[in-house]
Amino acid sequence: MATIDYEQKIPNNVDLKSDKKLQRALEKWLPDYIEWWKDMGPTDFNENDVYLRTAVSVDRDGWADFGYVKMPEYRWGIFLTPTEKERIVGFGDHFGSKAWHEVPGEYRNMLRRIIVTQADTEPASVEQQRMLGHTAPSLYDMRNLFQVNVEEGRHLWAMVYLLHGFFGRDGREEADELLERRSGNPDHPRILGTFNEPCTDWLSFFCFTTYTDRDGKFQLLSLAESGFDPLARSCRFMLTEEAHHMFVGQTGLGRIIERTCELLKEHDGRDVRELGGIPLEVVQKYINFWNSSSNDLFGGEISSNASNFFASGIKGRAYEEKLDTDHRANEGIYTMEVFENGRLTTKEVPLRNAMNEVLRDEYVSDNEKGIIYFNKIVERHGVDFRFHLPHRRFNRKVGIYSEGWFSIDGTPISETEWLGKVGEWLPTQEDRDYVQSLMVPCLEPGKYAPWIAPPAKGIDGKGIDFEYVKL
C-alpha cells in the first residue's frame, strides 16, 4: 500500500485502477485541472525546469524525491497514509465505535461542506501567489514558492479524490466548482476571507506561509482525527507537506529581519529605507495583518457548527487521540471573554460550542514560538526592537470580536481611537508602496535581493547558489 503507483495517469496509493468509474471521473477532471493551472497558476514559468520534490512513497523517509520538473508535468497524485490498525472514532457521540470507510448518510452534507471548504483554500492560495515568480528575490526563493504551489495543487487533488470517490454526483459538481471560483473575484470569490486577500509582494507571501499555512496545519490536525477514515488519512499525509510551507514562511521572515538588523548595525541611526531594507516596524505591521486575518479562519468563538462537527465525529481537536481528556467533551465548559454591550465579560460556554476557540488556542501558542524565533535574531544583533503577536481580538472580521474595536493588545477602544491608531498597526498605502518598490527580481544563481539575507543552507543538500530554477 505504501508504494505509489506511478504507472497510472494519476499517481496514487488508493488502488485507483480497480475502481474504473472513479478512475475515469478523475481522468476527466485532470485536463480541467491542468487548464486551470495554466490559466491561474504561476504565470509564465510553466516551461521552466524547477528543482522540486515529489512524493514517491508515503513511508516516513521515502516520500521526498528531488529532481528538475516542468510544473505542468508535476506528478500530482492521491496519497493517503497507510492504515495502521482498525481505527476507531476518537471523539464525540460515537467515541469508540469503528471509524467509517464510507460516508455516514446523516453526516453527508456536513462532511461535504467541510471538505469543500478545505479544498477551496488550496487553489485559492495558488491564485493569490501566481504573480510572485516575476519578483523573486532569488532562485532559491522562487523554487520554494513553486514547491508550495505544486503541493497546494496536490492538496486540492487529495480533496477532489474524496469528493469524487464518496459523494457521487454532488461531489463531482463541487469538484468542478473548485476550478471556477477565483480568489478576490467579487462575483465569484473563494469561500474564506483570507483567501481573497491580495498577496502580491514577498513580505506578504512569507507572512501568508507563516500564518495562513499554519491555520492549514491546525485545521488539518483536527481533520486528521476524523472518524471518516479516508479524510483522516488524506490530512495526515498533507501535514507532512505543510511543514515545509511554514518553514518557508518562518525562515523567510527571519531572513528579512536578519538583513534589516545588519543594515541597522552597519549604518547606525539611518532609516533602513534609504538603504533598501524593510523597517522592522513594517514587518510587524504585515505580521499584524496576516495573523489577524488568519485568526478569522478558525470561525466564530461560539459555534453550533463546530459543536455539530465534533459531536458527529467528523472534526476533532488537534492531537485528540493523544489528549488525556474526556473525548466526548459532553460536560466540559470553556471560559472565555465575550464582548457584550460594548464591554468584555467572562462567560462559560459548553465545551463543544467552543471547539473553534480550543483550536485557535493551539494556533496562538504555536505562533508565539515563532515570535520568539524572530526576537532571537534581533537580540543577537543587539537591535532595540521586539516583535509581538497581535492579540486575537485585534482586527477581526469573523466572530464575537468583530462587533467591536480592539487595540493591538486586545483592549476595547472606540472607533475614533481605532482610526487614529490603525496606521501604526496595519500596513498603510505608503508602507505597501514602499514594499512593492523593492520587488525587483534577483535571478542570478547565488544572488539575493538586498532586502533579504541568504538562507543558512540550500534545499536537498544543494548550495545556496544552486540553479534551483532554469530560466
Closest Cα partner for 179 from 31, 311, 321? 31
Q: Rounded to an integer, what distance in angstroms lies between the CA atom of residue 79 and that of residue 29?
A: 17
Describe the crossing of helices 280-296 and 355-380 by its angle, rounded to 10 degrees. 170
**For residues 2 and 24, what is the distance between their CA atoms, to the nearest angstrom?**
23
The binding site for ligand BYC (CB under 6 A) comprises 114, 117-118, 121-122, 125, 152, 192-193, 212-213, 215-216, 219, 296-300, 303, 305-306, 315, 356, 398
What's the closest the beta carbon of residue 353 comes to ligand BYC, in angstroms? 9
Smallest gap from Cβ 292 to ligand BYC, in A, equals 11
- Give Cα 247 to chain centroid, integer Å: 12
245 part of the interface to Fe ion, by CB under 5 A: yes
Between 233 and 259, CB nearer to ligand BYC? 233
**Cβ 210 to ligand BYC shortest distance, Å:** 10
Residue whose CB is less far from ligand BYC, 81 or 307: 307
174 binds, among ligand BYC, Fe ion, none (CB under 5 to 8 A by kind): none
Q: Which does 450 bind (CB under 5 to 8 A by kind): Fe ion, ligand BYC, none?
A: none
**Binding piece for Fe ion, criterion CB under 5 A, among 160-168, 244-252, 262-270, 379-387:** 244-252
Q: How far is the CB of 398 from ligand BYC (least distance, A)?
A: 5
Positions in 215-234 near Fe ion (CB under 5 A): 216
Encoded amino acid at 386, one letter: R
Q: How far apart are CA 54 and CA 69, in angstroms?
A: 9
Of the pair 75, 155, the CB lying nearest Fe ion is at 155
Considering the complex, what minimum distance in angstroms separates the CB of residue 152 from Fe ion? 5
Measure the CA–CA gap between 73 and 203, rounded to whole angstroms.
29
Residue 100 CB, nearest approach to Fe ion (Å): 24
**Rounded Cα distance, 341 and 233, in Å:** 44
Nearer to ligand BYC, 398 or 438 (CB): 398
Question: Considering only 214-222, 303-311, 347-355, 454-462, which stretch makes contact with Fe ion by CB under 5 A?
Answer: 214-222
Helix-strand-coil split of the chain, %, nearest 5 = 50, 10, 40
Q: Compute CA distances 384 → 164, 198, 265, 281, 375, whole Å.
A: 55, 32, 11, 12, 10
Longest alpha-carbon distance in the chain:
68
- Which amino acid belongs to residue 277? G
For residue 210, the 8-state DSSP code is I
Closer of 68 and 319 to ligand BYC (Cβ): 319
Q: Could you tell me if 212 and 152 are in contact, meaning their C-beta atoms sit under 8 angstroms apart?
A: no
Residues in the chain: 471
* Single-letter residue type at 421: K
Nearer residue to ligand BYC within complex by CB, 207 or 378: 207
Q: Positive or negative CA dihedral for 100, 103, 105, 111?
A: positive
Q: 148: exposed, middle or buried (C-beta count within 10 Å: 0-12, 13-18, 19+)? A: buried
Choice between 201 and 258, CB closer to ligand BYC: 201
Which residue in the set 127, 201, 213, 357 belongs to the binding site for Fe ion (CB under 5 A)?
Answer: 213
Minimal distance, residue 462 CB to ligand BYC, in Å? 25
In the three-class reduction of DSSP (H, G, I as helix; E, B as strand; rest coil), residue 169 is classed as: helix
Q: Which stretch binds Fe ion (CB under 5 A): 153-161, 250-258, 352-360, 404-412?
A: 153-161
120 binds Fe ion (CB under 5 A): no
In the bound state with ligand BYC, the residue whose beta carbon lies nearer, of 229 and 301, is 301
The nearest distance, CB 216 to Fe ion, in angstroms, is 5
Q: Name which of 195 and 451 has its Cβ closer to ligand BYC.
A: 195
Q: How far is the CB of 57 from ligand BYC (least distance, A)?
A: 23
Query: Does residue 255 belong to the site contacting Fe ion (CB under 5 A)?
Result: no
Contact 399, 301 (CB under 8 A): yes
DSSP letter, residue 322:
G
219 binds, among Fe ion, ligand BYC, none (CB under 5 to 8 A by kind): ligand BYC
Residues that bind Fe ion (CB under 5 A): 122, 152, 155, 213, 216, 245
